[in-house]
Homo-oligomer: A and B are copies of this chain.
Protein backbone atom coordinates (compact mmCIF):
# COMPACT_ATOMS: atom_id res chain seq x y z
CA UNK A 1 0.00 0.00 0.00
CA UNK A 2 0.86 3.66 -0.16
CA UNK A 3 0.30 5.69 3.01
CA UNK A 4 -2.68 7.39 1.32
CA UNK A 5 -4.31 3.99 0.72
CA UNK A 6 -3.59 2.98 4.32
CA UNK A 7 -5.14 6.25 5.56
CA UNK A 8 -8.26 5.71 3.42
CA UNK A 9 -8.61 2.11 4.63
CA UNK A 10 -8.45 2.98 8.34
CA UNK A 11 -10.61 6.11 8.20
CA UNK A 12 -13.02 4.89 5.45
CA UNK A 13 -12.06 7.88 3.34
CA UNK A 14 -11.61 8.29 -0.39
CA UNK A 15 -8.66 10.64 -0.76
CA UNK A 16 -7.26 10.40 -4.30
CA UNK A 17 -3.69 11.56 -3.70
CA UNK A 18 -1.35 12.53 -0.86
CA UNK A 19 -2.26 16.18 -1.55
CA UNK A 20 -5.55 15.48 0.24
CA UNK A 21 -3.84 14.37 3.46
CA UNK A 22 -3.75 16.71 6.51
CA UNK A 23 0.09 16.69 6.39
CA UNK A 24 2.82 16.53 3.74
CA UNK A 25 4.40 13.12 3.20
CA UNK A 26 7.77 12.24 1.64
CA UNK A 27 8.77 8.98 -0.03
CA UNK A 28 12.11 7.44 0.89
CA UNK A 29 14.15 4.26 0.55
CA UNK A 30 16.32 2.44 3.09
CA UNK A 31 19.03 -0.02 2.05
CA UNK A 32 19.32 -3.35 3.85
CA UNK A 33 21.29 -2.79 7.09
CA UNK A 34 20.73 0.97 7.11
CA UNK A 35 20.11 2.60 10.51
CA UNK A 36 16.90 4.62 10.32
CA UNK A 37 16.99 6.08 13.86
CA UNK A 38 20.19 5.94 15.93
CA UNK A 39 20.54 5.44 19.69
CA UNK A 40 20.59 8.92 21.25
CA UNK A 41 18.94 10.68 18.31
CA UNK A 42 15.63 12.46 18.91
CA UNK A 43 13.09 10.92 16.56
CA UNK A 44 12.05 13.38 13.85
CA UNK A 45 9.36 11.47 11.94
CA UNK A 46 6.85 8.65 11.81
CA UNK A 47 7.28 6.18 8.95
CA UNK A 48 4.90 4.09 6.90
CA UNK A 49 6.50 0.92 5.55
CA UNK A 50 5.24 0.13 2.02
CA UNK A 51 7.63 -2.79 1.63
CA UNK A 52 10.45 -4.33 3.63
CA UNK A 53 11.11 -5.14 7.27
CA UNK A 54 12.47 -3.11 10.20
CA UNK A 55 13.75 -4.11 13.64
CA UNK A 56 13.76 -2.09 16.85
CA UNK A 57 16.51 -2.83 19.39
CA UNK A 58 17.33 -1.72 22.92
CA UNK A 59 20.89 -1.54 24.23
CA UNK A 60 21.32 -3.50 27.42
CA UNK A 61 24.42 -4.38 29.47
CA UNK A 62 26.01 -7.14 27.49
CA UNK A 63 23.62 -7.66 24.62
CA UNK A 64 21.22 -5.81 22.43
CA UNK A 65 17.61 -6.82 23.04
CA UNK A 66 15.11 -6.91 20.19
CA UNK A 67 11.93 -5.10 21.14
CA UNK A 68 9.89 -5.16 17.97
CA UNK A 69 9.66 -5.97 14.27
CA UNK A 70 7.71 -4.02 11.67
CA UNK A 71 6.42 -5.30 8.33
CA UNK A 72 4.88 -3.82 5.19
CA UNK A 73 1.73 -1.76 5.66
CA UNK A 74 2.65 -0.86 9.24
CA UNK A 75 3.67 2.47 10.74
CA UNK A 76 6.84 2.65 12.84
CA UNK A 77 8.91 5.19 14.74
CA UNK A 78 10.90 5.40 17.95
CA UNK A 79 7.57 6.34 19.51
CA UNK A 80 8.66 7.27 23.04
CA UNK A 81 11.36 9.58 21.68
CA UNK A 82 8.96 10.99 19.07
CA UNK A 83 6.35 11.82 21.72
CA UNK A 84 8.62 13.03 24.53
CA UNK A 85 11.30 14.75 22.35
CA UNK A 86 13.96 12.93 24.39
CA UNK A 87 16.92 11.06 22.84
CA UNK A 88 15.91 7.61 21.63
CA UNK A 89 16.99 4.63 23.75
CA UNK A 90 16.07 2.32 20.89
CA UNK A 91 17.49 1.94 17.40
CA UNK A 92 15.55 1.24 14.19
CA UNK A 93 17.30 -0.72 11.43
CA UNK A 94 16.17 -1.89 7.96
CA UNK A 95 16.44 -5.72 7.80
CA UNK A 96 16.00 -5.62 4.02
CA UNK A 97 15.60 -2.91 1.37
CA UNK A 98 12.56 -0.84 2.37
CA UNK A 99 10.22 1.56 0.62
CA UNK A 100 8.70 3.97 3.08
CA UNK A 101 6.96 7.32 3.45
CA UNK A 102 7.49 9.73 6.32
CA UNK A 103 5.60 12.48 8.13
CA UNK A 104 7.71 15.02 10.03
CA UNK A 105 7.06 15.74 13.72
CA UNK A 106 6.22 19.43 13.16
CA UNK A 107 3.82 18.65 10.32
CA UNK A 108 1.99 16.04 12.39
CA UNK A 109 1.69 18.36 15.41
CA UNK A 110 0.29 21.13 13.19
CA UNK A 111 -2.30 18.73 11.78
CA UNK A 112 -3.23 17.58 15.31
CA UNK A 113 -4.22 21.18 16.21
CA UNK A 114 -7.20 21.26 13.90
CA UNK A 115 -7.71 18.10 11.84
CA UNK A 116 -10.33 15.66 13.16
CA UNK A 117 -9.05 12.94 10.82
CA UNK A 118 -5.41 13.37 11.81
CA UNK A 119 -6.40 12.97 15.48
CA UNK A 120 -8.62 9.96 14.71
CA UNK A 121 -5.86 8.17 12.81
CA UNK A 122 -3.26 9.03 15.46
CA UNK A 123 -5.55 7.79 18.23
CA UNK A 124 -6.38 4.53 16.44
CA UNK A 125 -2.73 3.75 15.63
CA UNK A 126 -1.59 4.45 19.20
CA UNK A 127 -4.42 2.27 20.52
CA UNK A 128 -3.05 -0.57 18.38
CA UNK A 129 0.52 0.08 19.54
CA UNK A 130 -0.68 0.10 23.15
CA UNK A 131 -2.48 -3.24 22.77
CA UNK A 132 0.67 -4.80 21.27
CA UNK A 133 2.81 -3.53 24.20
CA UNK A 134 0.28 -4.55 26.85
CA UNK A 135 0.04 -8.08 25.41
CA UNK A 136 3.81 -8.35 25.37
CA UNK A 137 3.95 -7.28 29.03
CA UNK A 138 1.37 -9.95 29.95
CA UNK A 139 3.33 -12.57 28.00
CA UNK A 140 6.51 -11.70 29.86
CA UNK A 141 4.76 -11.83 33.22
CA UNK A 142 2.67 -14.96 32.81
CA UNK A 143 3.81 -17.18 29.93
CA UNK A 144 6.49 -19.83 29.62
CA UNK A 145 8.94 -19.69 26.71
CA UNK A 146 6.97 -22.45 24.99
CA UNK A 147 3.66 -20.60 25.35
CA UNK A 148 5.24 -17.39 24.10
CA UNK A 149 6.53 -19.15 20.99
CA UNK A 150 3.18 -20.90 20.37
CA UNK A 151 1.39 -17.57 20.69
CA UNK A 152 3.78 -15.92 18.23
CA UNK A 153 3.20 -18.79 15.80
CA UNK A 154 -0.55 -18.26 16.11
CA UNK A 155 -0.74 -14.44 16.15
CA UNK A 156 2.30 -13.37 14.13
CA UNK A 157 3.09 -16.19 11.67
CA UNK A 158 4.98 -13.55 9.62
CA UNK A 159 7.57 -13.27 12.39
CA UNK A 160 8.33 -16.97 12.25
CA UNK A 161 8.49 -17.17 8.47
CA UNK A 162 10.55 -14.00 7.88
CA UNK A 163 12.89 -13.63 10.83
CA UNK A 164 15.97 -15.74 11.67
CA UNK A 165 15.60 -17.99 14.72
CA UNK A 166 18.33 -16.26 16.73
CA UNK A 167 16.47 -12.93 16.39
CA UNK A 168 13.17 -14.57 17.39
CA UNK A 169 14.90 -15.88 20.53
CA UNK A 170 16.19 -12.40 21.39
CA UNK A 171 12.73 -10.96 20.82
CA UNK A 172 11.10 -13.53 23.13
CA UNK A 173 13.82 -13.20 25.76
CA UNK A 174 14.57 -16.93 25.41
CA UNK A 175 17.93 -18.64 25.10
CA UNK A 176 18.50 -19.70 21.43
CA UNK A 177 19.08 -23.31 22.50
CA UNK A 178 15.84 -23.41 24.48
CA UNK A 179 14.02 -22.03 21.46
CA UNK A 180 15.51 -24.75 19.21
CA UNK A 181 14.25 -27.37 21.66
CA UNK A 182 10.78 -25.78 21.73
CA UNK A 183 10.67 -25.62 17.93
CA UNK A 184 11.65 -29.29 17.59
CA UNK A 185 8.95 -30.22 20.07
CA UNK A 186 6.22 -28.17 18.35
CA UNK A 187 7.20 -29.29 14.85
CA UNK A 188 7.33 -32.98 15.73
When distances are taken between beta carbons in the complex, the residues of chain B under 8 Å from A138 are 58, 67, 89
A133 B126 Cβ-Cβ under 8 A: no
Give the residue of B58, B116, B130, B141 whose beta carbon is less than 8 angstroms from that of A126.
Answer: B130
When distances are taken between beta carbons in the complex, the residues of chain B under 8 Å from A134 are 79-80, 133
A152 vs B76: C-alpha distance when bound (angstroms): 28
Chain B CB within 8 A of A140 CB: yes
With A67-B137, A141-B67 known as contacts, the answer to whether A83 contacts B127 (CB < 8 A) is yes
A141 B58 Cβ-Cβ under 8 A: yes
Chain B CB within 8 A of A187 CB: no
Give the residue of B60, B84, B112, B137 whose beta carbon is less than 8 angstroms from that of A131.
Answer: B84
B136 A60 Cβ-Cβ under 8 A: no
Chain A residues within 8 Å of chain B by Cβ, number: 34
Nearest B-chain residue to A82, judged by Cβ: B127
Chain B CB within 8 A of A44 CB: no
Contact pattern, A 83-99, Cβ under 8 Å of B = 1, otherwise 0: 11000010000000000
B135 A136 Cβ-Cβ under 8 A: no
B79 A142 Cβ-Cβ under 8 A: no
Apart from A65-B141, A67-B141: 20 A-B pairs, beta carbons within 8 A? A58-B138, A58-B141, A58-B142, A59-B142, A61-B142, A65-B142, A79-B130, A80-B135, A84-B131, A89-B138, A112-B120, A112-B123, A116-B119, A122-B123, A123-B126, A129-B130, A130-B130, A133-B134, A133-B137, A140-B140
Q: A-B pairs with the 9 shortest C-beta distances?
A: A119-B119, A60-B142, A123-B123, A133-B133, A126-B126, A65-B141, A116-B116, A130-B130, A122-B123
A sample of 11 cross-chain residue pairs with beta-carbon separation below 8 angstroms, ordered by A number, consists of A79-B130, A83-B130, A83-B131, A115-B116, A116-B116, A119-B120, A123-B123, A126-B127, A133-B134, A133-B137, A136-B137
